[in-house]
Amino acid sequence: MVNELVCDALLFDLDGVLIDSSACIVRNWRVWAEPYGIDVAEIMKVAHGVRSVETIRQVAPHLDAEAEAARLAALEMTNADSVVAMPGAHALLAVLPADAWTIVTSGGADLAKARLRAVGLPIPTTMVTADDVTRGKPAPEPYLLAATRLGVSPDRCLVVEDAPAGIQAGRTAGIRVLGISSTHTRAALLEQSVTALVDRLAELAVDNSGADSRLRLWW
């Protein structure tokens, strides 16, 4: 059986969708947390898919979240190349028109660009990062901004996400969401009412050869 979704633009999350930086994310949070005696396991329960400043506000409300997020960002830049591209990421992006996709990440712009360069993936000019929004995922602002920058109505976009916070952001923005169960279980993503769900990015194929130039994703 072949499943298909049709859209005008794809809005990709970065970590867990196009790249795998899980090992260095945990390592950086552990280094940050150690001086404060914070259990990194507790951080990882709430950190995935949201901005660092919001995670810090949650796990250490007594600290200056902005200052600590800046310290963590500097730490992350020291090993921004410790990432790998998700299987299928290069092939998928290679066939997409430049004006029909972008990246929406909870990380900062410099870090996102460094990680994309490290794995040889293209950097979209319309990318939305933590630096561009006042309220990150699970708020809808990042995905609404991405749709606006591409000039595509939200209801004609498709979000590709691996984290519950990102799925919530996409759905609240009125955008359909394709879940990738790379970092969370299928059950956890289905609880967020994703439009469709696949296990791996590499399962996806894209065709934009139709007369209407719309993107057709199938798996």
> In sequence order, what DSSP letters do the residues of 136-203 get, joined into one string?
-TTSSHHHHHHHHHHT--GGGEEEEESSHHHHHHHHHTT-EEEEETTSS-HHHHHTTT-SEEES-GGG
Instruction: Identify which of 79, 139, 138, 133 has the alpha carbon closest to the alpha carbon of residue 108.
Output: 133
Task: Give the model's confidence band at 215: pLDDT under 50 very low, under 70 low, under 90 confident, else very high.
Answer: very high
Exposure string of 61-84, with b = 16+ CB inside 10 Å and e = fewer, is: eeeebeebbebbbeebeeebeebe
Q: Residue 47: phi, psi to the nearest 5?
A: -85, -25
The superfamily CATH assigns to domain 4-20+83-218 is HAD superfamily/HAD-like (3.40.50.1000)
Mean pLDDT of 23-34: 92
CB-based contacts of 127: which residues, under 8 Å, 6+ apart?
A: 102, 103, 104, 105, 109, 112
Spans of all domains in the chain: 4-20+83-218, 22-77
- Rounded to a whole number, what is the distance in angstroms from the first to the last CA of the chain? 9
Q: Considering 8, 15, 20, 162, which one is annotated as catalytic?
A: 15
Rounded to two decimals, what is the model's pTM? 0.89
**How high is the pLDDT of residue 165?**
95
In angstroms and rounded to an integer, the radius of gyration of the C-alpha atoms of the chain is 17
**How high is the pLDDT of residue 1?**
60
- Which regions of 8-149 does DSSP assign to beta strands (E)? 9-12, 19-20, 84-85, 101-103
pLDDT surpassing 70 at residue 20: yes
Which two tokens mark 34?
Answer: 């150690």
pLDDT surpassing 70 at residue 106: yes
**How high is the pLDDT of residue 82?**
84
% of the chain with per-residue pLDDT over 70? 100
Mean pLDDT of 104-123: 96
Three-state secondary-structure class, residue 15: strand
Instruction: Identify which of 108, 113, 115, 111 has the alpha carbon closest to the alpha carbon of residue 129.
Output: 108
Highest CATH level, class, for 22-77: mainly alpha
The H or E element spanning position 7 is: strand 4-7
**How high is the pLDDT of residue 152?**
98
Q: Residue 215: phi, psi to the nearest 5?
A: -90, 130
Task: Give the model's confidence band at 209: pLDDT under 50 very low, under 70 low, under 90 confident, else very high.
Answer: confident
Neighbouring C-beta atoms of residue 87, cutoff 10 Å: 14
Q: Is 13 labeled as catalytic in the residue annotation? A: yes
**How high is the pLDDT of residue 213?**
78
For 148-176, write each residue's pLDDT tens digit: 999 999 999 999 999 999 999 999 999 99
For 47-98, write each residue's pLDDT tens digit: 888 899 999 999 999 999 999 999 999 998 888 788 999 999 999 999 999 9
Specify whether the CB–CB gap between 12 and 178 falls below 8 A: no
